[in-house]
Structure 1
Amino acid sequence: MHRPGFSTLLAAFAFCVRTETADSQATATRGAVELTVAATTDQHGRLRGWDYYLGAPDARHSLARVATIVDSLRVAEPGRVVLVDAGDLLQGNPLTYVAARMEPNAAHPVIAAMNAMGYDAAAIGNHEFNYGIPALKAAIAQAKFPFLAANVYRADGTRAYPASRMFKRAGVTVAIVGATTPGSAVWDRDKVQGKLQFRDIVTEVRAAVKDVRARGADVVIVTVHSGLNEPASYDTVATRLPSENVSVRLAREVDGIDLINYGHSHRQMADTTIGTTMLMQAKNWAENVAVAHLRLERAGSRWRVTSRRGELISTVGRAESPAVLTATQRAHEATVAYVTEEIGNTPVAWRADSARVMDVALTDFILEVQRRTANAQLASTAAFSLDASLDAGPITVAEVARLYPYENTLKAIRISGKQLKEYLEFSARYFGTFGTSDEAVNQKVPGYNFDIVSGATYTLDVSMPVGSRVTHLQVANRPVAPSDTFSLALNNYRQSGGGGYAMLAGAPVVYDGTVEIRQLLIDEVRRRGTIKPDDYYSSNWNLVPGEAIGPALAGMRANPFERATSTTPPAPRGRRIRILATNDFHGALEPRTDSRGVIRGGAVALAASIERASRDCLAECALVLLDGGDMYQGTLPSNLAYGRPVVELYNILGYTAAALGNHEFDWGIDTLKARMRDARYPILGANVRFADGTDVPWIPNDTLIERNGIRIGIIGLASTLTPRTTRAANVKGLRFDAPAPIVADLARKLRTRGAEAVLVVAHDGAFCDRTGVASCEGEIVTFMGELDEKVDAVVSGHTHSLIAARVKGIPVVQARSSGSALGVIDLQVGGEATITVQDVIPDSLARQPRVDSLVRSAVAAVSAFVDEKVAMIAEPMPRNGEQYALGNLIADAQRRVGRADAAVVNNGGIRTGLKAGSATYGELYEIQPFANTLHRLTVRGRDLRTYIERLLDRGEPNYHFAGIAIAYDPARSSGQRLRSLSQTSGKPIDPAKNYTIVMNDFVATGGDGLELARKASRKEVLEVNDLDALIGYLRALPQPVRPPAVDRVVVRP
């Protein structure tokens, strides 16, 4: 900890140090040197710890605090620090507005601050063009560092800005290459059209990297104003512009890059490596600094990077650099004078204390300014603070700004009548159901997620259930039809689907403003001089029944999310880990219809759900995406490509880790190793050992990651049942040990290595009550009960069930299967956790273009097989319980193809039900996706009887049979439960006679642990698999196919 006054002395010393040349400060140790790269992005004018709108200190955002951190790094690593920025510097708050619009000839405060800090280079961000090319040119002329943009050219084809900068640091030749998003050609068309060309980032950076390498660069850093891999916010086909967010592509597709500092997306990433390229992103508004530590070793006359690691250093609690404060003091004073200016007046007081239960003028003021600015039919906003107000008398810039406490810009989108109703219904979740035991206000929904729409008239009836509350919805005195279309003005956060409003994400953008909505309100007051409620108020919505309004008013104040807009910053919410969890995806790239006819899941909808849940992970939140195993096996598009499409999907979605499921072994160890190499996330199995008990080197036990400054250990487990749930040959030489002692040991070691939280992802499950909260029983519960070392959360899999429970106080989640749900655990580090499981319903979610393209390609590759019609089915044959008609149908098919006396089918090989109507090859494949080869065994009747007895010892038989009938008494003791065993003709099985039995290879080779084959006098491998047997049988049956009777296994006391 610094002594009082030390940080100030340190900053002054470091500022003096920067005046010397880097090479005079340090020499590399013989053969090795470490460079430190500090990086910022998307500062948007947050130079000092002062909120100009609130007129109060800002403890979270300050480039002056970043400067103190950089100074400390330079003292610790003299001559070995590189400082870069990824753009969006010159626009974003009143300070930059004053600099650009009111004092364009003065020294630019952002450039002055960055000069004082000694930046080496900056990328040009799209917001650099907001005030026009001349303003950008003037700012660049003041900079002592280059602004880089390799992909921006003048209209005549010459380069508009430098592509790179090269220099020596600690004897190492460093090259910095810069680029920017092409989106400026859309967002600032009026300023750049006919003047600048924005070319493909990847192509231009590739050329620039090749150039600097040819000129002797030892280290190549790319600083790029482009997101990671998010979908473009503009139509790349219609605009003919290259992609917007390509940082992942740069890492994958461009050789020779050691480090990518990226920006634009206002997110953060400490340390992710793709191939040999590390990526990092600091949080916007100077909330932290991204720092990369690159170790280089000499290779002949050159240097090469041999290791890399990254971290995020928070600015909170840091002293501000005197050098930066001095450099920006005059601009700061000018901005304070601007925001405290009186810009108008009002003759009456305006209040927002009832804005969420009735229409009020203060909300309509915001809505009307938005609607008129965007020239839209409708407008929407939240009533952010119930304490917002304007007092009668003079109005200052800051007072208007307090009405809108967020940094949102204005957009307008084109929506349908269906989307409008969905939007309002989702907003109405804020209220409980009146007349029931619900609280008047849903305490889980923040007030800032309750939106109000102007331009439409409607009623919210909170006596109705969620989803059915919007009544009398009209626009222009006409009832709204689902197919109607409207333009809707709203803020950029909501336009992106923020707050869970997925029905809005992806809607076409018809207006894309760059001015913050707060500034629009200030401009409106300044223009009118005197504002009155009657100028804006129009009553267009109401809440019924009237008796609900009083309880709702009280409930709003009790809502834990409610906070007044105040002159002091909000208290920190504490450090939180958001765990997003899936399991048992089984290659389900396409949506599926459940037993109630509801379409669920699919890769596109799952991706959108993950993105939405990720957006709700705020600045204090560390995001982890985990999967509980059984990722690949289960559908034609995945299986025929041996799981490659699913690996690609998981890579796109950014999974952190996954458990090793039993079905990961289904295609053999070589294929599993190939998929593990393809995956950019570890697939963990800590309890998988060789037969002699030693570790399996290609199956990692755990991983230790850092997210948003929180170090998180993750341990993965395979099911101990794996040898009984995949072919025995596929796991030959492996054993699957009891997990509790292994996890306890690894958890202790992870905490020793610095883990602040330890998570377990396991392919073991349980079954709970229908809520998923109570009465849970199963392997995962047993494991957690045996665990004697603390872990913080568990992600479960294998049982395809709903779990949102606590075992010994530890949260555990399982999200059904096939991408039909998403588990969410919000874990306070060292504190409490909340657990939810969210349904994934495709109709309510925006499509993700990249994932959509992946799915379309995978499905198209197998469409010829999938769509082939096989048979007509008279009535549904669901997969319910232990004995069902579909199982008997499959057993009959196998007995027929094997021309055997009997057939035995394990229920685990039947994956889903069969619907009525036309049955296609693709649908039948999903019922039996494992391509198990059929075997025919010849066994004596006595051995068959013993085999059935052993099955019955396990409880209700989860097998189906053909050619034999079984009667048993479950109340009898083990080995005595079988009452009768006969052929379907009624003839008893003769203990001395030989019978032929058909089984799939999984069961025949001991997958069920019973190994009837050992007793066989003859074993034959049939030249047919289980799916082909079923298809041939269905085609041979009279059409439509009717379900066989379910009476082959009966209980008889």
Structure 2
Amino acid sequence: MTLPEGVSRRSVLGAAAAGVAAPVILSGAAPFASAAEAHGTGHGHGSTPQTYDLTVLGTSDTHGNVYNWDYYKDLEYDDSAHNDVGVAKLAALVNQIRRERKGKATLVLDAGDTIQGTPLATYYAKQEPITETGAKHPMARAMNVLHYDAVTLGNHEFNYGLPLLNLWIRQLGFPALAANAVSAKTGKPAFTPYVIKKVSLGKGAPTLRVGILGLTNPGVAIWDKGNVEGKLLFKDMVETAATWVPVMRARGADIVLISAHGGDSGVSSYGPEIPNENPSALIAQNVPGIDAILFGHAHNEVAQRFVTNTETGRQVLLSEPSKWGQRLTRMDFTLVRSKNSWTITSAKSATLNTNTVTEDKAVLAAVKAQHTKSVAYVNQVVAASTEELSAAESRYKDTPILDYINKVQTDTVSAALAGTSYASLPVLSIAAPFSRTAVFPQGDVKIKDVAGLYIYDNTLEAVVLTGAEVKAYLEYSAKFFVTLPVGAAVDPATISNPSIPDYNYDVLSGVDYDIDISQPVGSRITRLEIAGAPVAADAQFVVAVNNYRRSGGGAFPGIVKEQVYNAQQEIRQLLIDWAQAKGQISPADFFVANWRLVRAGVPVF
């Protein structure tokens, strides 16, 4: 057997890789997979082929959701489609299927993005970090109750640094996989690459060996550069699958499943400097020996998709179960055992809605105390607002609530650079309308209100841009809008390009500018001024920006450069601290109307 570069035969047999995890676990039957009974035709009749079945259940992008709860509204979660969220909902559906199958072979996998995304997850990473208290992470508690067989690391698993990630992995009762994350020093797998599960199909039945390969997202190298640079490298997901699938087959895997934290679109939100962000369909197409792929990352619902492998002509089954625990993927396989080998004769998948079940009481009980503490935290009052401030129109109008973010970022960077060689440069600030539902109510503003405005765990950085780079940045951002000729009807609901998410549209404070949406992309910034004068191409500015954007997220031009400020301060906490220090949130302290959408110079709104 030829082993991947940097992996010794001894390490494949169980030696720890990079001091984190052994690259292979050859385990016994998982819970709920050991009492499966054969069904179908030809059981025990000499050489007659025998038929069996296997069900694989998949989750992904749970993002810190355990309870069906909206921490920002302090209410049971609900949306316009009446979706539900949370591991407790998933567990109820999983256990329902386990009961229906009466112990037949059923595996449960997760495709990543688990420990970030809600105030519950943030609280145990930032307010009471498990690395300091030793407490078990709520997502470890919840997932251990559900009895997963394996989880793949998503890019958001790296948000809080490797010590917290590694502790969370140790708290799990099942392996965490990431074959394409390797040690920067040794080139060896930094986490467990794959497992081979021995699945019992009933008394007297031959054992089925199910190989499960985990692939994390290469975008970690950009999005969490500060946490992984010099420590981990992230290899191409397609190439990594091509490396490990033959190894798994050689080690005895009868069927091979991949759990991949990467969408199926084949495109990336960043440039070509690192491997593809969403290659799941490409993996199926280009790597022989794969039977099915559970994938995540894109937050889409893909009930069933078949991709033909170009080498073998075989159909590979793919499915993505949406986000936050709203859906559960169910894959069903029929297998025939003949002449000591297994053949999949049929495969299908569907996505199941978790709003059809009641939350699992055991999961709720396991996380109740931590959920209660998180709810109490986000309901702390930090300041009083003189009026209601809403983000509903922030995508297409200059609103005070987005200027609040820019004011805090500008103040923080200006204070930090006082007395330095950059102190004389104007400070601009970048913010994006992440949320359309964020509101600061008139009166008491709570932590949940601030967290609802800034939903990501970004940290604040600053770089120096020229006037030309600022203009190029704004032109790139302005592609967010569709082209509307003068006289065409304006509908706020359709004014933005549906293929560009809100978080990839940025507004700047500190300069005045017009975005002419009657003009083609690349020629829309028709006015760019500072203090009433045109911005010179060679002018210099300090620009406050979040670490995601500065590291290349969204592929904005000119922003990926050396920082002049990087104190690793979380922007959301800075917003909370500013409000607490002031005691009052008043637009008079920060709102400056500095940008607008126009057509031929005439404001759109």
Q: Is the 8 A contact 2:392 2:436 kept in 1?
A: no
Amino acid paired to 1:340 = N
Aligned 1:41-440 pairs, distance under 5 A = 41-59=60-78, 60=83, 61-77=85-101, 78-101=103-126, 102-104=128-130, 105-154=134-183, 155-169=185-199, 170=201, 171-237=207-273, 241-274=274-307, 275=309, 276=314, 277-342=316-381, 344-346=382-384, 348-352=386-390, 361-369=400-408, 377-382=428-433, 388-392=439-443, 394-403=444-453, 417=471, 420=474
Aligned 1:921-936 pairs, distance under 5 A = none
Amino acid paired to 2:37 = A
**What is the Cα deviation at residue 385 of structure 1?**
5.8
Give the superposed CA RMSD: 4.3
Greater RCO, 1 or 2 (C-alpha within 8 Å, sep 6+): 2
Q: Is the 8 A contact 1:129 1:188 kept in 2?
A: yes
**What is the Cα deviation at residue 260 of structure 1?**
1.3
Task: State TM-score, norm by structure 1.
Answer: 0.43
Q: In 2, distance between residues paired with 1:490 and 1:193?
A: 18
Residues 1:542 and 1:416: Cα distance change in structure 2 (over 3 Å): closer
**What is the Cα deviation at residue 373 of structure 1?**
7.2
The secondary structure found in structure 1 opposite 2:259 is strand
Q: In 1, distance between residues paired with 2:516 and 2:252?
A: 70
Amino acid paired to 1:246 = P
Aligned 1:695-844 pairs, distance under 5 A = none
Amino acid paired to 1:150 = A
Aligned 1:467-486 pairs, distance under 5 A = 472-475=527-530, 477-480=532-535
Residues 1:82 and 1:442: Cα distance change in structure 2 (over 3 Å): closer
Residues 1:469 and 1:204: Cα distance change in structure 2 (over 3 Å): closer
Identity between Structure 1 and Structure 2 (%) = 32
Q: In 1, distance between residues paired with 2:479 and 2:292?
A: 46
Q: In 2, distance between residues paired with 1:282 and 1:515?
A: 34
Q: Is the 8 A contact 1:369 1:524 kept in 2?
A: yes
**What is the Cα deviation at residue 160 of structure 1?**
2.4
The secondary structure found in structure 1 opposite 2:560 is strand
**What is the Cα deviation at residue 377 of structure 1?**
2.9
Structure 1 counterpart of 2:52, from 9, 33, 38: 33
Q: Is the 8 A contact 1:381 1:491 kept in 2?
A: no
**What is the Cα deviation at residue 129 of structure 1?**
1.7
Q: In 2, distance between residues paired with 1:21 and 1:351?
A: 51
Q: Which residue of 2 aligns with 1:538?
A: 592
**What is the Cα deviation at residue 122 of structure 1?**
0.8
Residues 1:301 and 1:122: Cα distance change in structure 2 (over 3 Å): same
Q: In 1, distance between residues paired with 2:162 and 2:479?
A: 44
Q: Is the 8 A contact 1:383 1:451 kept in 2?
A: no
The farther-off stretch of 71-80 and 156-165 is 156-165
**What is the Cα deviation at residue 21 of structure 1?**
5.7
Deviation readout 1:487-515 (Å, 9 max, x if unpaired): 6858989x999xxxxxx866455389999
Structure 2 counterpart of 1:457, from 503, 512, 537: 512
Deviation readout 1:133-183 (Å, 9 max, x if unpaired): 121121111111100122233333443222221222224221211122233
Deviation readout 1:207-248 (Å, 9 max, x if unpaired): 3322222232211111122333533444554xxx54443323
Q: In 2, distance between residues paired with 1:466 and 1:100?
A: 44
Q: In 2, distance between residues paired with 1:180 and 1:421?
A: 32
Q: Is the 8 A contact 2:59 2:325 kept in 1?
A: yes
Q: In 2, distance between residues paired with 1:183 and 1:443?
A: 31
**What is the Cα deviation at residue 424 of structure 1?**
5.5
Q: In 2, distance between residues paired with 1:52 and 1:266?
A: 20
Deviation readout 1:324-373 (Å, 9 max, x if unpaired): 1111111111110110122x324733545997798654331123345667
Aligned 1:348-747 pairs, distance under 5 A = 348-352=386-390, 361-369=400-408, 377-382=428-433, 388-392=439-443, 394-403=444-453, 417=471, 420=474, 444-445=494-495, 453-458=508-513, 472-475=527-530, 477-480=532-535, 489=545, 507=557, 509-510=559-560, 521-526=575-580, 530-541=584-595
Q: Is the 8 A contact 1:349 1:390 kept in 2?
A: yes
The secondary structure found in structure 1 opposite 2:170 is helix
Residues 1:181 and 1:507: Cα distance change in structure 2 (over 3 Å): same
**What is the Cα deviation at residue 311 of structure 1?**
1.2
Residues 1:187 and 1:445: Cα distance change in structure 2 (over 3 Å): closer
The secondary structure found in structure 1 opposite 2:245 is helix
**What is the Cα deviation at residue 402 of structure 1?**
4.4
Q: In 2, distance between residues paired with 1:295 and 1:157?
A: 38
Unaligned runs of 5+ in 2: 1-28, 44-49, 202-206, 415-426
Q: In 2, distance between residues paired with 1:378 and 1:478?
A: 19
**What is the Cα deviation at residue 87 of structure 1?**
1.2
Amino acid paired to 1:83 = V
**What is the Cα deviation at residue 201 of structure 1?**
3.1
The secondary structure found in structure 2 opposite 1:22 is coil
Residues 1:403 and 1:481: Cα distance change in structure 2 (over 3 Å): same
Larger Rg: 1
Q: Which residue of 2 aligns with 1:653?
A: none
The secondary structure found in structure 1 opposite 2:283 is helix
Residues 1:477 and 1:455: Cα distance change in structure 2 (over 3 Å): same
The secondary structure found in structure 2 opposite 1:24 is coil
Q: Is the 8 A contact 1:34 1:296 kept in 2?
A: yes
**What is the Cα deviation at residue 481 of structure 1?**
7.0
The secondary structure found in structure 2 opposite 1:362 is helix
Residues 1:443 and 1:331: Cα distance change in structure 2 (over 3 Å): closer
The secondary structure found in structure 2 opposite 1:377 is strand
Unaligned runs of 5+ in 1: 1-17, 498-503, 553-1053
Residues 1:465 and 1:211: Cα distance change in structure 2 (over 3 Å): closer
Residues 1:426 and 1:117: Cα distance change in structure 2 (over 3 Å): closer
Q: In 2, distance between residues paired with 1:445 and 1:243?
A: 29
Q: Is the 8 A contact 1:267 1:284 kept in 2?
A: yes
Q: In 1, distance between residues paired with 2:401 and 2:222?
A: 33
Residues 1:260 and 1:459: Cα distance change in structure 2 (over 3 Å): closer
Q: Is the 8 A contact 1:153 1:160 kept in 2?
A: yes
Q: Is the 8 A contact 1:122 1:147 kept in 2?
A: yes
| Count of aligned pairs | 514
Q: In 2, distance between residues paired with 1:482 and 1:26?
A: 73
**What is the Cα deviation at residue 528 of structure 1?**
5.2
Deviation readout 1:851-888 (Å, 9 max, x if unpaired): xxxxxxxxxxxxxxxxxxxxxxxxxxxxxxxxxxxxxx
